[in-house]
Structure 1
Amino acid sequence: MNYRKLTPSMSLLLAFEASARHRSFTRAAEELSLTQSAVSRQVQTLEAMLGVALFQREGKRIVPTDAGRAYMTEVGAALTLIRNATLQALSSEALGKRLRVATLPTFGAKWLLPRLHRLYQAHPDLQIDLHSRIEEVDFSSQPLDAAIAVGDGRWPNVVAHRLYAEELVLIGSPTVLKAKEKRQRGGRARSRAGAQTIRPTVAMLEGLTLVRVSSFPDAWREWCAHFGLPHDALRLGPSFELTSHLIQAVVAGIGVGLVPHMLVEDELNDGRLCSPFEPVPSSRSYYFTYPERVQRHPALVAFREWLLHELVVPRPSV
């Protein structure tokens, strides 16, 4: 038995795995910081070593053969184990006092950062590196230890702690809503603190531009369904990638929007925004998530306990 033949070098396996995953020598070369010809030669060397064709070449396209697909299944799984083990080793060294946390940008700015000083007061040696992420975090490929995400809580291969259920509130500037408020309620626009429990109608929303956050395209549909309103009767306006940009657009009078209530409490309280309706529950919740491999690390434990305590027993900012 030639054990050398059974244990190809890591460079050959990486070239094969990336090529099979992308089905392209060019894209594999970009990922591995090699030339396309270098990746192609490494795959050819592996095929010669095994005595098996791993790809069918169709012009510039490559398609794994049956043997190539079977080999990719096993090699890909093995490389994932190696990568995860490496990440765990790195995390063991780095996570003693440092934690790399991804957070939704507006949540980070409006909720997390104003409270973070209390974590440092309790744990002065801790270092939290914050990274803004809108898209779903992949802990297997991104240098992150934990994330605050919004969704339904069903993420594979992660531990997820539900922080709180999202409540959506309709917001508008007092100028934009003034005429509507006077006609519908006979008074001035009020903040949520003074809002009455009234049900919206299509007439209340006619003529208003309904702005959206692109990451939650169903927000207006869900809000309308809660009140039994026909979603198709409403005029949807511009969409924004960041909730903070939507809030700024609404303050500027561009339209009315739906946002998580906890992200606009300051604007509602100081009168920059108002809302004629009570918040309604959405289908989403906020979660603190992390891979199982870091769940016992001191920095992760300290941050998790502090975060959950902040939500259960909120304290005023100092």
Structure 2
Amino acid sequence: MNPRRLTPSMSLLVAFEAAARHCSFTKAAEELALTQSAVSRQVQALEAQLEIELFRREGRKIELTAAGAVYQHELAAALGRIRSATLQTISYKNDGGPLNLAVLPTLGSKWLLPRMHEFYAKHPQILVHIHSRIIREDVQSATHDMTAIICAGSGAWPGYISHKLLTERLVVVASPAALPDYPGLSPADVAEHALLNVVSRPSAWSDWFDQHNVDHANLRAGPSFELTAHLIQAVTAGIGLGLVPEILVQDELKNGDLVALFEPMESGRDYYLVYANRYQNLPSLKAFSAWLLSLPFQTEKN
């Protein structure tokens, strides 16, 4: 097949996508600053090139055919990526531009977002669009539409640059209102309480029991949660004990909503800022990375 047939000109594609989105040549023409007849001719030229009808025309009314609807769906995503890539390229001109960042939900809401005003004070021209995602070790999947991600893992991701932010430490927390005798609690006593966990950490409590030489047979499993933020709320409400990253409960420990029962335990994971090699010289990312790495990541002592 002729390659030209498979790669229509951008003007034809843009005219079709706008007309398909509005189901109107007139509205597409207004959006593109063209005449209605010009848009209609471009769509007809595209149909002739593809040798398939994309619209059904009934008088002045148009409607997508089945083929046209599928084509518009795929094309809209492709044009979106092209526009995003163009916007990122333009950002080199003034060291600004947008940055799409995926971050673990609780880390984003409880640690990153409260500090973002400091970044904007230094870089008001850069917009950071923050997306909450539960990110596993599959960094490629997590970053396919992101400039960078903040995740927990090993840091060994070929093809990606990773900056270690901090070593994760897990701490047992409880509500002092629900557990007034917490000062005298021993590791063995923990097994007598409902132990809440996050579904992505099924072995966290087992690892903690191993470290404190407590028999697993005494482990009393409590409810599971997808988000650490929900687990923290459940512990605060007195539902049970939680084993959570220390950095995520600093506010609760400081204001007395929660208490830490024992010394923190390293989880074996670290938090990283991660991005693909191709983005390493993007001005907005360089500015964000430098700011993020300048922050004091050590948790505060209570």
1:157 aligns with 2:159: yes
1:201 aligns with 2:203: no
Identity %: 41
Number of equivalences = 231
- Report the CA distance between 1:140 and its aligned residue: 8.2
Aligned match of 1:91 in 88, 91, 97?
Answer: 88
135-144 or 224-233: bigger deviation: 135-144
1:294-305 mapped onto 2 (5 Å cutoff): 294-305=279-290
Aligned mates of 2:166, 2:2 — CA distance in 1: 54
1:201 partner letter: P
Residues 254-313 of structure 1: per-residue CA shift (max 9 Å, x gap)? 110011111111111111111221111111110000111111010000000000001369
Query: 1:148 is matched with which residue?
Result: 150
CA RMSD, aligned part only? 3.3
Query: 1:289 is matched with which residue?
Result: 274
Aligned mates of 2:253, 2:89 — CA distance in 1: 44
Secondary structure in structure 2 of the residue aligned to 1:174: coil
Aligned mates of 1:205, 1:289 — CA distance in 2: 36
Residues 137-180 of structure 1: per-residue CA shift (max 9 Å, x gap)? 53687421001001122334221111100010000101332245
Aligned mates of 1:272, 1:313 — CA distance in 2: 21
Query: 1:80 is matched with which residue?
Result: none
2:192 partner letter: G
Aligned mates of 2:262, 2:209 — CA distance in 1: 12
1:272 aligns with 2:257: yes
Aligned mates of 2:135, 2:297 — CA distance in 1: 27
1:129 partner letter: H
Aligned mates of 1:291, 1:86 — CA distance in 2: 19
Aligned mates of 1:6, 1:115 — CA distance in 2: 50
- Report the CA distance between 1:233 and its aligned residue: 2.4
Check 1:134–1:157 CA distance in 2 against 1; reply closer, same or farther (3 A cut).
same
Aligned mates of 1:218, 1:288 — CA distance in 2: 25
Aligned mates of 1:140, 1:269 — CA distance in 2: 33
Query: 1:130 is matched with which residue?
Result: 130
Check 1:175–1:313 CA distance in 2 against 1; reply closer, same or farther (3 A cut).
closer
Residues 55-84 of structure 1: per-residue CA shift (max 9 Å, x gap)? xxxxxxxxxxxxxxxxxxxxxxxxxxxxx9
1:178 aligns with 2:164: no
Query: 1:310 is matched with which residue?
Result: 295
The answer to whether the 8 Å contact 1:163/1:311 transfers is no
TM-score by length of structure 1 reads 0.64
Aligned mates of 1:7, 1:217 — CA distance in 2: 53
Aligned mates of 1:314, 1:223 — CA distance in 2: 20
Aligned mates of 2:296, 2:275 — CA distance in 1: 18
Secondary structure in structure 2 of the residue aligned to 1:287: strand
2:121 partner letter: Q
The answer to whether the 8 Å contact 2:166/2:298 transfers is no
Check 1:156–1:178 CA distance in 2 against 1; reply closer, same or farther (3 A cut).
same
Aligned mates of 1:122, 1:281 — CA distance in 2: 33
Secondary structure in structure 1 of the residue aligned to 2:266: strand
Residues 111-157 of structure 1: per-residue CA shift (max 9 Å, x gap)? 11111111111111111110000134536874210010011223342
Secondary structure in structure 1 of the residue aligned to 2:107: helix
Aligned mates of 1:179, 1:313 — CA distance in 2: 29
Query: 2:216 is matched with which residue?
Result: 231
Check 1:276–1:155 CA distance in 2 against 1; reply closer, same or farther (3 A cut).
same
Check 1:288–1:269 CA distance in 2 against 1; reply closer, same or farther (3 A cut).
same
Gapped runs of 5+ residues in structure 2?
9-65, 72-80
1:20-31 mapped onto 2 (5 Å cutoff): none
Residues 201-248 of structure 1: per-residue CA shift (max 9 Å, x gap)? 32x113200000112222112222222323342011111111110000
Aligned match of 1:215 in 200, 209, 233?
Answer: 200
Gapped runs of 5+ residues in structure 1?
12-33, 40-83, 186-199
The answer to whether the 8 Å contact 1:211/1:256 transfers is yes
The answer to whether the 8 Å contact 1:250/1:257 transfers is yes
Residues 93-116 of structure 1: per-residue CA shift (max 9 Å, x gap)? 357421110111111111111111
